[in-house]
Amino acid sequence: MAAVKTPESNSASAPESKSASAPESKSASAPESSHAASGDAAEDSDSDDGWLQQRTGYRALLRSLLDHPVSGGPRFAYVFGSLLLIALCNQVLTGALLMAFYAPSATDAWASVAYIQDQLWLGWLVRGLHSSGASLLIIGVVLHMVQVAIYGAYRAPREVNWWTGLLLALLLFGFALTGYLLPWDQKGYWATQVATTLLGATPLIGSTLQQLVQGGKAYGNLTLTHFYSLHVFVLPVCLLALVVLHLALFRRHGVTPLWRRGADELARTTEPFWPRQAVYDLAAGTLMIAALFVSVVRTHGVELGAPADPSVAYDARPEWYFLPLFQLLKYFPGSLEIVAALGAPLVFLGALSLMPWLDRGSATLGPAGLSAAQRVRSLAVFALCLGGVALLSGLARRDDARNASFRRHQADAHAQAVRARTLALQGVPVAGGIAVYENDPLEQGRKLFAEHCAGCHRLDRMGPSDEDQKGPTLNRLFSRGYIEAFLRAPDSPAFYGKSPLRGGMKPVELVGPELTDLVEYVYSLAGSKDVDAAKVARGQVLFEDKNCDLCHERDGKTGGQGPNLLGYGSEAWLRGFLLAPASITYYGDKNDMPAFGKKLSDGEMSRLLMFLLAQRAASNSAH
Amino acid sequence: MGELQSSERRSALRVVGGILLSALGLAWAIPAALFATSPVRRRRGSTSDAKQPGSEEDRATSVPIASLSEVPDLDQGGEPLRAAVVASGLRDAWNRLDQTKLGSVFVGKRAGALTALSATCPHAGCGIDYDGSRRQFVCPCHNSAFSIDGQRISGPAPRDMDRLDVSEKGGTVFCQFQRFRLALKNKVPV
Ligand code: FES
């Protein structure tokens, strides 16, 4: 098969020199005649050349790019390389756009990605195209490799190109690994920990290497800046160099037609790349990009998890294309793990890169191309490699599908992500990603409690110890459990034991169902819907029979020995109490609690109320 | 005849190639343009307390800059007080900011009324200083000079210093901080 030398086709008088140097176009074929029709007149006389052409000679460059002969004529089988180039364009373009809005720092990364995802116009689309584009590239690489394997394009004289292809594929995994961490969400954070920990287990240089990559002993700002620099500069430069090399080698050797076709037929049917092969490539490329858009739009882009939180464990999974390796590690316990993690990819790549020599014995059959049947050894190795990868990822998926706790965990993680991102719409505090939870009114209510109430009251881990507690413990405030415990022992240290209200109320001496009925009635005073009407009715009778109503009015106006219980436990009751605890409808002159409500703004008040009333709801679900 | 057909087919293919290429280009270019320009359009999905520092939406916000007692009386020979403008609850892209410095203003009392001048030079945005010996404002960058009332005296500044609205409530001086476009004859809010 005759290879066209590029320099000739670069020279200004390309049509002539090419027909001289390209034996396969000796017959008057379609390309030549169309040259005469469309291009030659303008190209041959300098005087007609445009300003730009005279100064740059760009047409020669265009011709050398577009008129490259496709031996044996254009085929759809040759589109895969171009598809990868188009998918790569997608990555470069969307990557550049994302760079303009992304901040590689531990405090800002998640917030900036959440901003891209949820607040910028089409941010979800751009991010989705970038992330799914990575998957597309991996799929494209596999398809390209399969085509190359079937056509035998890895064989002499194209071995070096086969290797550069393998290196390119390896680089893609480098991109994927570094890119996965950048959003600094739970998923990326924990999954990448696995990768860097494995790196650290490399014999001898492991820990140094790990620290170098992650910029220190632990994850932090430097990890992100390091990964960012790898992802957007170092790897792209390597990728560019390898792509150029790969394409140059491709141009040198041309396409590899199917072995069945004779030299004469190939020569007769050879056509330049432009326009037919180019149109094939572009048509396939347009379809591919359309499919990418459709899949991204259908899923509304790729999910952004909750912000990375070192204190919250996460059942991390890598991206789907790392699943085979992830699965493999499960079979190699302890110190063997590192052997598998580093060894398996090496064996895999080694086997693939040796493919050109596996069929050595049959090399005598000549360079015209070996049929697939004659390359059974190398193709078997190739199939084994791909099959192994497919099997492992199938196993990984099956494991996860059967793992109920993993699925539950994923659902929780999703709910957490939704919550964090909703809160992020209000802006993320500068303290960083997880500070977004401070936007939650409940969380702000908790802070207000710690600030204003925890001096006297205990709730969860806030507040004083038993001896120092001046007011009741407010855990599960207004819940059935709280009411019951209070009715049984109002003077216990957890209630009024340390307050001036001590001795103000006698313990209720009811037990069993009667106590439950009374509790249900008191609980219902807040206007709750989740009550048992029969119990409430019985409880109301008890309330009056047992003379509770002697001290407790229920009209919201009248004072008594004890607080007025109209709406007890409701937001209105609690608000009124916080504003005027010493009012006659609350605790009157026995009250010792300052009117904190007056110090709070409306917003603060409603957040504190929300937090306190959530105590009731939280413990109800536990009942 | 065959050649003619084939050359026609090739032109048709060229057209198809061009169309496909443009389709691909547009598929990327349109979302890219919308995405990249979204910060200059109105923010979407923002909450009502979202404000860009010093922008139009922010105009109505008054921030406390000083207490009334510390504001000097310029008629009595006092020097204008340089006060930092610190605001809360602002948004900067993804961040919600508390206690953010927006800039500084010179405050003083003139004929019994409060005045505030932005310390941002209307020429190219440098920070203006007060020169006590000359009782003038001077910009250190290109030597624009302004009177104590902010009137342009000399130098490349195209207009007087930018006057800001001030008010007083309960002994605290509030300023409506605003930025104006630079290098213009007129005072145009950013
Ligand atoms: S910036 Fe003030 S004089 Fe130029």
Distance in Å, alpha carbon of B54 to nearest chain A alpha carbon: 17
B165 in the same domain as B92: yes
With H, G, I as helix, E, B as strand and everything else as coil, classify residue A281: helix
B102 in the same domain as B28: no
- Taking contacts as CB-CB distances below 8 angstroms, the residues of chain A near B14 are 274-275
Rounded Cα–Cα distance for residues A427 and A410 (Å): 26
CATH of the domain at B60: 2.102.10.10
Confidence of residue B147 (pLDDT cuts 50, 70, 90): very high
The answer to whether the CB atoms of A119 and B46 lie below 8 A apart is: yes
Is residue B11 within 8 angstroms of chain A, CB to CB?
A: yes
Nearest Cα to Cα of residue B137 among A407, A379, B122, B50: B122
Rounded Cα–Cα distance for residues A345 and A195 (Å): 14
- Residue A536 has what pLDDT? 92
Q: Is residue B182 part of a domain?
A: no
B25 in the same domain as B95: no
B64 in the same domain as B14: no
B171 in the same domain as B82: yes
Enter the pTM of the model: 0.78
- Residue A2 has what pLDDT? 39
Q: Is residue B158 part of a domain?
A: yes
Of the partner residues B14, B94, B97, the one whose CB lies closest to the CB of residue A112? B94
Say how many CA atoms lie within 13 Å of A496 toward its Cβ.
20
Rounded Cα–Cα distance for residues A385 and A110 (Å): 37
Query: Does B121 sit in the ligand 1 pocket, CB within 6 Å?
Result: yes
- For chain B, give the number of residues: 190
Rounded Cα–Cα distance for residues B32 and A93 (Å): 8
| B140 C-alpha to ligand 1 centroid (Å) | 7
CA distances, A356 to each of A1, A141, A170, A388 (Å): 18, 18, 19, 20
B89 in the same domain as B14: no
Q: Which residue has the tokens 């343009």?
A: B33
| Contact by Cβ (8 Å): A505, A551 | yes
**CA nearest to B89 within chain A:** A427
pLDDT tens digit string along A12-51?
A: 443 444 343 444 444 444 444 444 444 444 444 555 678 9
- Taking contacts as CB-CB distances below 8 angstroms, the residues of chain B near A114 are 94
- Residue A256 has what pLDDT? 87
Residue whose CA is at the smallest distance from ligand 1 atom 4: B142
Residue of B18 and A17 predicted with greater confidence:
B18
Q: Does domain A70-420 have CATH number 1.20.810.10?
A: yes
Nearest Cα to Cα of residue B170 among B53, B98, B58, B62: B62
B109 in the same domain as B16: no
Q: What is the mean pLDDT of residues A500-504?
A: 83
| B184 C-alpha to ligand 1 centroid (Å) | 12
- Taking contacts as CB-CB distances below 8 angstroms, the residues of chain B near A300 are none
The chain-wide mean pLDDT, for chain A, equals 86
The answer to whether the CB atoms of A279 and B39 lie below 8 A apart is: no
Phi, psi for A5 (deg, rounded to 5): -85, 130
Q: Is residue B183 part of a domain?
A: no
**CA nearest to A431 within chain B:** B95
- Residue A41 has what pLDDT? 43
Ligand 1 atom at shortest distance from the alpha carbon of B142:
3
Query: Does B182 sit in the ligand 1 pocket, CB within 6 Å?
Result: no
pLDDT tens digit string along A206-229?
A: 899 999 999 999 999 999 999 999
Phi, psi for A508 (deg, rounded to 5): -80, 130
The answer to whether the CB atoms of A122 and B35 lie below 8 A apart is: yes
**Which structural domain range is residue B10 located in?**
2-36
In a mutational test of the B interface, the residue from A88, A115, A122 whose CB has the highest number of chain B CBs within 10 Å is A122
Confidence of residue B43 (pLDDT cuts 50, 70, 90): low
Note whether ipTM > 0.95 here: no
- Residue A140 has what pLDDT? 97
The total domain count for chain B is 2
pLDDT tens digit string along A92-121?
A: 999 999 999 999 999 999 999 999 999 999
Q: Is residue B184 part of a domain?
A: no
Query: Does B148 sit in the ligand 1 pocket, CB within 6 Å?
Result: no
User: Distance of alpha carbon A592 from its chain centroid, rounded?
Assistant: 53
CA distances, A337 to each of A27, A221, A332 (Å): 61, 29, 5
Nearest Cα to Cα of residue B36 among A301, A125, A101, A124: A101
Strand partners, B130: B137
Domain boundaries, chain A: 1-14+39-67, 70-420, 441-622
Phi, psi for B143 (deg, rounded to 5): 60, 35
B94 in the same domain as B8: no
Rounded Cα–Cα distance for residues B139 and B160 (Å): 12
| Contact by Cβ (8 Å): A268, B7 | no
pLDDT tens digit string along A243-286?
A: 999 999 999 998 888 887 888 888 888 999 989 999 999 999 99
Strand partners, B168: B173
pLDDT tens digit string along A563-621?
A: 888 889 999 999 999 998 888 888 888 888 888 888 888 888 888 998 999 888 764 44
Strand partners, B180: B189
- Tokens at B114, concatenated: 């409060």
Q: Is residue B187 part of a domain?
A: no
Q: 3-state SS string over A339-380?
A: HHHHHHHHHHHHHHHCHHHHCHHHHHHCCCCCCHHHHHHHHH
Q: What is the mean pLDDT of residues A460-472?
A: 80
Q: Is residue B85 part of a domain?
A: yes
Confidence of residue A366 (pLDDT cuts 50, 70, 90): very low
Residue whose CA is at the smallest distance from ligand 1 atom 3: B142
Amino acid (1-letter code) at residue A194? V
Distance in Å, alpha carbon of B79 to nearest chain A alpha carbon: 36
Q: Is residue B186 part of a domain?
A: no
- Cα angle vertex A297, ends A291, A298, to 5°? 90
